[in-house]
Structure 1
Amino acid sequence: MLSNKMKMALPILVAIFIAILPTPEGLTANAHYFFAVFIGVIVGLILEPIPAAMIGLVGVAFSATFGLVSDSAKASRDWALSGFSNGVIWLIFAAFMFALGYKKSGLGKRIALLLVKKLGKTSLGLGYAVAFADGILSPFMPSNTARSAGTIFPIAINIPQMFNSTPENEPRKLGAYISWVAIAATCVTSSMFLTALAPNLLAVSLVEKNADIVITWGQWFSTLAIVMIPLFLLVPYLAYLIYPPEQKHSPEAPAWAAEELKKMGSITQKELIMLGLGILALVLWIFGKQIGVNSTVAAISVLCLLVLTNVISWEDVITNKAAINVFIWFATLVAMAGGLKKVGYLDWAAGLISTWLEGLSPSIVVLVLVVLFFLFHYLFASVTAHVVALLPLFIGIGVNLIPADMVHSLALLLVGSLGLMGILTPYATGPSPIWYGAGYISQAKWWMLGAIFGAIYLAGLVLLALFII
């Protein structure tokens, strides 16, 4: 085990080592230095010698202070604060408050007990219950943050607590398994349906704009379902094998849950209010686009109603350390990831890739592009940012290097990877910080599991590529 001093020193040493290397041709010195800081931040997040939010804040502060993103002090300030105005960040913050509302009202406990009563004989059964809940909602909710973090998290997080599994007490008993199944399942469902992830819709429009290729809902599902349905059905079982819960069987749990429900008595007024507000949020998230209400605005509005109806108090909001910690952490990472695009690093990397791929067979080009597009997500804290920064570039490379009839398949593979890549890191997609912030899985363990499941998901994409190209 590394000492804390070593954990503190390693990110700095890695950043310095990269910074003193010669600046690659075509890249500015500031872009090179910013990339060094970015990698230092990533190493820091893996080792976590200090809280993750502080690591991100140090990276942003250092880069802005030394003008690595812009020579202008005002532009540097605007960049440093850009993550705090990101809609997904506020949606994540609101999701934490929803979870608190479910807990304080008692509704989360009641729903968790009902799930345990019906499916609680085995931990695997509970894993499938969480996964299927996401699967049912996914075609109708284009925000996986609203779906997984705002709707499923507040309920699912109550289940391990029923078995006395908390972040501080026996997290591996059940809580860690439930958390991992939830994030792993939502990553698959986000790729299974065009309408299960907001960046999917953006990606389809960019493909049409850059390659004149139209991808319909039916084309998306019929092509990607070949891999996504088997992956989705395997997720709870794979997690059970790779990251097993310590408590596997609990034949007495359903009877115990039934007894606890009796003790709770009839549903209370606060529970009914919480249920109504939960349904309101769900309706606004599903139909928000049609009625002109943004998902983040909907979440903040419902948060206000939670306070006004006294389901939670304002004191609860401003003293929720986990929510504030994740808010700062994710906001700084969004800014850092956006900085890579701003300094020109991503454009330079894409140009370099295009040069390397010239002369290879079209099938190999497709496979390499899919793998690189997936792995590049390690550099992003937002799927939307990934789409905007890289999808047009990768589609452009494909148009230049492969036959026209293969570009459609390449486009489907690239856009179909957007949900799956969310499994890679604790900041890779909107719900990730919520499930990580629950505290059941350490950052180091998350990176390890992310690499394992990322490899499985990527293998599925490669198999699909071999089938359709």
Structure 2
Amino acid sequence: MNEKDQTAASRITRGLIAVVIGIIIWSLPAPAGVKTEAMHLLGIFVATIIGLILTPLPMGAVVIIGVMLTGLTDTLKVGQILSGFANNTVWLIVAAFLLTRGFIKTGLGRRISYLFIRAFGRRTLGLAYAIAASDLVLSPATPSNTARAGGIIYPIVRGLTGTFGSEPGPTARKIGSYLMMMEYQAVIVTSAMFMTAQAASPLLVELAKKTANVTISWGTWALAGIIPGLLCLIITPYLLYKIYPPEIKETPQASALAHAELEKMGPMKKSEKILLAVFLMILALWVTSEWNKLDATVVALIGVGVMLLTGVISWEDVLAEKGAWDALIWFGGLVMMATGLNQLGFMKWVANSVAGSVAGLGWFSALIILVV
């Protein structure tokens, strides 16, 4: 069997695992107070989640199949099936992806990173803090942490490591492995600090609203995440420097390289200035949403509208942002299924069952049980 056939067989096997588990759950009797359709939808939902984990197909394709099965089996009506794609949180993510496109297209993301490196990059530890600071500044408007870390910051870090002769392999420990590890740690922290710093976070917000009637605003999330996040970003570079030390400690070339790159980029272009103003406006409106009463999605769409009107991005850029439309499909489909489970009584049954099992326990014990 050649490699192509092995890959196809592996995909089929992974797909069958998801299907079998979904059928088993579909066939389970519904608990008291839960409709039969809820168990059917749960089977489709769990199969979809397993499909997203095992990836027999791309994420969007897996969710589309789940959406199709929901309609084909008459588990939900067509209006309910398509409701997730009209969800405001889904469109918040789409708009944020388009903001990311602006950062990449204009070069503002690179400029911000080079400014931090020029300021703090004379020592390896300073470089690590510059990487963390760059990720922090960009994270509120880049829901694709892959685009943020891989599309903006990684090429810069890769260029730096090459300057110091640190490549994958025997020379990695010179400086490259430390900086790459630092960016990995930084993107994990910043992704949790803001609701729009990774695509999965708004899904959690939507699930909390649908299942527990708990509303979490952008500002509330940021307020909860900013202190622990900043502490992690302050501690992690130094801690990693001690437990995974680079061989090169002094890096004056990094600051010089950043200065040279900024000289090459020249003064801020008009498009960069507009995008910076839009970014600051969006952040201000998100943070003050409790007072201005503007929905976070409306604010993000205002930003996209301004970028289109001023030519920061074009309609072709919007159409080319595959991540946005992929997120619309898989995010909308999952929101629809979660909403359906709530409407059919399954989430209420789960909440009551869990509440009964943790009643009388201390908060820490209850937390451990819920996490497990």
Could you tell me the TM-score, scaled by structure 1's length? 0.58
What amino acid is aligned across from residue 129 of structure 1 in structure 2?
A
Would you say the 8 A contact 1:112–1:155 is kept in 2?
no
**Counterparts of 2:20 and 2:44, CA distance in 1:** 10
**Counterparts of 2:104 and 2:301, CA distance in 1:** 18
What amino acid is aligned across from residue 187 of structure 1 in structure 2?
A
Map residues 47-446 of structure 1 onto 2, 5 A cutoff. Answer: 47-69=54-76, 76-120=77-121, 121-122=124-125, 124-130=128-134, 133=137, 147=140, 149=142, 157-164=151-158, 178=183, 181-187=186-192, 251=251, 252-357=253-358, 361-363=360-362, 366-374=363-371
Question: SS at 2:348's partner residue?
Answer: helix
**Counterparts of 2:240 and 2:333, CA distance in 1:** 30
**Counterparts of 2:316 and 2:348, CA distance in 1:** 45
The aligned residue for residue 32 of structure 1 is: 39
What amino acid is aligned across from residue 63 of structure 1 in structure 2?
T
Question: SS at 2:268's partner residue?
Answer: coil
**Pair 225,36 (structure 1): closer, same or farther in 2 beyond 3 Å:** same
The aligned residue for residue 428 of structure 1 is: none
**Counterparts of 1:151 and 1:19, CA distance in 2:** 33
**Counterparts of 1:341 and 1:367, CA distance in 2:** 27
The aligned residue for residue 162 of structure 2 is: none
Q: 2:17 aligns with which of 10, 14, 20?
A: 10
**Counterparts of 1:78 and 1:163, CA distance in 2:** 48
Would you say the 8 A contact 2:33–2:345 is kept in 1?
no
Could you tell me the TM-score, scaled by structure 2's length? 0.72
Give, in angstroms, the shift of residue 126 of structure 1: 4.0
Would you say the 8 A contact 1:113–1:257 is kept in 2?
yes
Would you say the 8 A contact 2:119–2:255 is kept in 1?
yes
**Counterparts of 2:226 and 2:258, CA distance in 1:** 36
The aligned residue for residue 141 of structure 1 is: none
**Counterparts of 1:158 and 1:227, CA distance in 2:** 25
**Counterparts of 1:107 and 1:225, CA distance in 2:** 23
Larger mean CA deviation between 273-282 and 327-336 belongs to 273-282
**Counterparts of 1:160 and 1:128, CA distance in 2:** 12
Give, in angstroms, the shift of residue 118 of structure 1: 2.9
**Pair 356,275 (structure 1): closer, same or farther in 2 beyond 3 Å:** closer
Give, in angstroms, the shift of residue 261 of structure 1: 0.8
What amino acid is aligned across from residue 62 of structure 1 in structure 2?
L
What amino acid is aligned across from residue 59 of structure 2 in structure 1?
A
**Counterparts of 1:226 and 1:318, CA distance in 2:** 37
Give, in angstroms, the shift of residue 79 of structure 1: 1.8
What amino acid is aligned across from residue 269 of structure 2 in structure 1?
T
**Pair 93,188 (structure 1): closer, same or farther in 2 beyond 3 Å:** closer
**Counterparts of 1:333 and 1:248, CA distance in 2:** 47
Give, in angstroms, the shift of residue 306 of structure 1: 0.7
Give, in angstroms, the shift of residue 179 of structure 1: 5.8
**Counterparts of 1:63 and 1:240, CA distance in 2:** 51
Give, in angstroms, the shift of residue 94 of structure 1: 1.3
Would you say the 8 A contact 1:60–1:332 is kept in 2?
yes
What amino acid is aligned across from residue 125 of structure 1 in structure 2?
Y
**Pair 108,226 (structure 1): closer, same or farther in 2 beyond 3 Å:** closer
Cα offsets for 1:7-40 (capped at 9, x unmatched):
1211001111222344444433221222121111
Would you say the 8 A contact 2:28–2:39 is kept in 1?
no
**Pair 226,253 (structure 1): closer, same or farther in 2 beyond 3 Å:** closer
What amino acid is aligned across from residue 15 of structure 2 in structure 1?
M
Question: SS at 1:267's partner residue?
Answer: coil
Give, in angstroms, the shift of residue 45 of structure 1: 0.7
Would you say the 8 A contact 1:94–1:299 is kept in 2?
yes
What amino acid is aligned across from residue 184 of structure 1 in structure 2?
V
Question: SS at 2:267's partner residue?
Answer: coil
Give, in angstroms, the shift of residue 105 of structure 1: 1.7
Would you say the 8 A contact 1:113–1:159 is kept in 2?
no
**Counterparts of 2:37 and 2:321, CA distance in 1:** 37
**Counterparts of 2:357 and 2:41, CA distance in 1:** 24
**What is the alpha-carbon root mean square deviation over aligned residues?**
4.2
Would you say the 8 A contact 1:95–1:150 is kept in 2?
yes
**Pair 301,259 (structure 1): closer, same or farther in 2 beyond 3 Å:** same
Would you say the 8 A contact 1:185–1:235 is kept in 2?
no
| Equivalent pairs, count | 327
Would you say the 8 A contact 2:99–2:304 is kept in 1?
yes
**Pair 235,80 (structure 1): closer, same or farther in 2 beyond 3 Å:** farther
Cα offsets for 1:215-249 (capped at 9, x unmatched):
xx9xx98xx9998876665566789999x999997
Question: SS at 2:288's partner residue?
Answer: helix
**Counterparts of 2:330 and 2:299, CA distance in 1:** 23
**Pair 3,229 (structure 1): closer, same or farther in 2 beyond 3 Å:** same
What amino acid is aligned across from residue 56 of structure 1 in structure 2?
V
**Counterparts of 2:156 and 2:232, CA distance in 1:** 29
**Pair 247,20 (structure 1): closer, same or farther in 2 beyond 3 Å:** farther
Give, in angstroms, the shift of residue 315 of structure 1: 0.9
**Counterparts of 1:281 and 1:152, CA distance in 2:** 19
Gaps of 5+ in 1: 70-75, 135-144, 191-196, 209-216, 376-469
* 2:27 paired with 1:20: yes
**Counterparts of 2:142 and 2:290, CA distance in 1:** 19
Give, in angstroms, the shift of residue 93 of structure 1: 1.1
Gaps of 5+ in 2: 1-6, 160-167, 169-175, 196-201, 215-219
Would you say the 8 A contact 2:96–2:141 is kept in 1?
no
